[in-house]
Amino acid sequence: SCGICVNKCPFDAIEIINLPQELDDDPVHRYGENAFALYGLPAPQEGQVTGILGPNGIGKTTAVRILADEMAPNLGQVAGDPPGWEAIMDEYRGTELQNYLEELRAGDVTVARKPQYVDQIPDQFDGTTRELLERTDERGALSDLIERVGIGPVVDQDIDTLSGGELQRVALVACLARDADFYFLDELTPYLDIGQRMTAARLVRELADEEDRSMLVVEHDLAILDLLADTIHVAYGSSGAFGVITSPKSTKNGINEYLGGFLENENMRIRQESITFEEHAPRQTAEGDVVVEYPDLTKSYGDGEFSLEVEGGEIQENEVLGVVGPNGIGKSTFAQLLAGRLEPDEGEVDADLDIAYKPQYVEIDQPMRVDAFLASITDDFGTSYWNTEIADPLQLDRVMEQNLTDLSGGERQRVAIAACLSEDADLYLLDEPSAHLDVEQRVRATSAIRRYAENHDATALVIDHDIYMVDLLADRLLVFDGEPAERGHASPPVGMRDGMNEFLANLDITFRRDERTGRPRINKPGSQLDREQKNAGEYYYSD
């Protein structure tokens, strides 16, 4: 079993859907004979944020191109004339989508879109951030948006000098500054820290609440999607083969069913295992051997424009140490100090450690095939052991024969994680492995990293902003605080409960538990639970 569909293999599903008696179930669109087919469309609603939750390659962009009137759906008729609006309207009469399609047909809908891969913006635009953004200022909201996302300091810089987190916020502003009826945001969160994610979510909500716009959001950070969306369409199927977009569900049920792996209305199992969260902080396991012990360290750049203070600590063998804190606070600097790539100003790091490092922005642009690239890193490449530990959980089989330069963001991320884990090292440093991975891939990558550390007497240090991923991944936490771009401070590593409390107290965010599934959900600021938990100092776990 591939683990995606159990009761119903995707290939059987295609056959069943294609049987003549299933004609009621024509796709919305099929790209060609035996090509990808999309079933169902999301239904954007005025004044609402509609979420789509599902894997990459499942037809989300196809759906949006249809809703944006960039592409006429063919209702599965790949030969002959396209069926035309009457047939399409007939198909959707009486559904949530009817109103929207009527407006679209009358030519009354304008659309603004934020692309998924913000890293590509510098290839498409030459000039400063301000020049790019001024073209988008259709509502007179630009300066307010720039200030609220905090990109003021970089507006006069050339676009190609911005970091991923800055580009992400520029792309968000460029989309939200437009005057459109329908906004489509393909992933808000990659490269943003939690504070920035919350701000992005708030801006999207405000456009729905205060301006009555329709917002459609694809998002894989479930804590943020939960906070943001009014309703959710789950997308399932088989990436690259077919995708089904369900009718809207309440956000809470949509996320719970997705995590549980079973869609209730559809009576459809979409995954063998359910994804579950522990309500109580894991007990700290017996202390293992120490891999690295570091003393108090300091490091500053330039004339002290940024300075970092690290309290001494130790990292244990076989553990996954989560690293949390805002962007620009010194997390990568610390990683480089450990890796011996930077010299501390004060203190000294044991330089005998072999460290494998996956940077935040993955640039592997050699003109080389994925298999050749990975084979150049490890002699274990292609052994059943390597396949089980690395290639299978990271689902590399489909990309092995592709060129590195042709990979999508999520594919490149998985190859980079594999490359890092394939090195023979004492310490594996992974900076934001969740970026551009869908929920399924995050969970698989998480267990690959965990298992790898356990089986190799190795240790992994994982920097990530997806709180669900950190929760699933880490044994202990290293918490950074301070003032981004000015000064950073790191405490010694602590247990999950203390670490989450310290980290979330800095952010002033508490989580409650979904009563049915135990899934952590962000509390409304100032709500009774929020106040009670802050008083008790319990920000995340319920013990």
Q: Residue numbers of the site for ligand ADP (CB under 6 A)?
A: 31, 35-36, 56-62, 240, 301-302, 306, 327-333, 485
Q: In whole angstroms, how close is the CB of 56 to ligand ADP at the nearest point?
A: 5
Of 372 and 485, nearer to ligand ADP (C-beta) is 485
Cβ proximity to ligand ADP: between 36 and 258 the closer is 36
Closest distance to ligand ADP from the beta carbon of 135 (Å): 25
CB of 410 to ligand ADP, least distance (A): 9
Q: Closest CB to ligand ADP among 60 and 358?
A: 60
Q: How far apart are CA 354 and CA 423, in angstroms?
A: 9
Beta carbon of residue 349, minimum distance to ligand ADP (angstroms, whole number): 15
Q: How far is the CB of 428 from ligand ADP (least distance, A)?
A: 17
- For 530, the token pair is 């929020």
Using CB atoms within 10 A of its CB, is residue 28 exposed (0-12), middle (13-18) or buried (19+)?
A: buried
To ligand ADP, the closest distance from the beta carbon of 204 in angstroms equals 19
How many CA atoms lie within 13 Å of 54's alpha carbon, on the beta-carbon side?
A: 24
Amino acid at 370: V
DSSP state of 388: I
The contacts of residue 500 (CB under 8 Å, 6+ apart) are: 281, 471, 477, 539, 540, 541
DSSP assignments along 171-232, one per residue: HHHHHHTS--SEEEEE-S-TT--HHHHHHHHHHHHHHHHHH--EEEEE---HHHHHHH-SEE
Q: How far is the CB of 427 from ligand ADP (least distance, A)?
A: 17
Which one, 27 or 59, has the nearer CB to ligand ADP? 59
Q: How many whole angstroms separate alpha carbon 413 and alpha carbon 444?
A: 13
- Is the CB of 142 or the CB of 263 nearer to ligand ADP? 263
- Measured from the CB atom, the residue of 306 and 539 that comes closer to ligand ADP is 306
d(CA 254, CA 233): 7
If the CB atoms of residues 233 and 497 are measured against ligand ADP, the closer one turns out to be: 233
How far, in whole angstroms, is CA 349 from its chain's centroid? 33
